[in-house]
């Protein structure tokens, strides 16, 4: 995730579906303010709290792009 997150503002879309990414890993994306979509289907290590934390950061940064999270937490 550190390599992905290092793309910073140039990162527009991330698909971490079926991975072992955790809330901590998801938190690394907090500085990717241009991100418009996140697919995290079947990521059972990510909690609702982790998603809300990331979404809250995006809205706090006044990101104008619509942030879409397509997640199914099992």
Q: Tell me what pLDDT residue 68 has.
A: 44
- 59: Cα within 13 Å, side-chain hemisphere: 7
Low-confidence ranges of the chain (pLDDT < 70): 57-74
Q: Tell me what pLDDT residue 58 has.
A: 56
Tell me which residue range forms the domain holding 68.
2-72
Q: Report pTM.
A: 0.68
Q: Tell me what pLDDT residue 32 has.
A: 84
Map residue 30 onto helix, strand or coil.
helix
Task: Show the tokens assigned to 63.
Answer: 């990101």
Structural domain count of the chain: 1
DSSP 41-59: ET-TT--HHHHHHHHHHHH
- Distance of alpha carbon 48 from alpha carbon 63, whole angstroms: 20
60 CB neighbour count, 10 Å cutoff: 9
Q: Tell me what pLDDT residue 22 has.
A: 93
Q: Tell me what pLDDT residue 21 has.
A: 93
Q: Tell me what pLDDT residue 59 has.
A: 54
């Amino acid at each position: 995730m550190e390599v992905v997150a290092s793309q910073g503002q140039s990162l527009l879309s991330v698909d971490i579906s079926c991975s072992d990414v955790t809330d901590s890993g998801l938190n690394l994306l907090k500085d990717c303010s241009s991100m418009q979509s996140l697919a995290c289907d079947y990521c059972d290590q990510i909690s609702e709290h982790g998603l809300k934390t990331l979404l809250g950061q995006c809205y706090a940064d006044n990101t104008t792009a619509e942030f879409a999270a397509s997640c199914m937490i099992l």
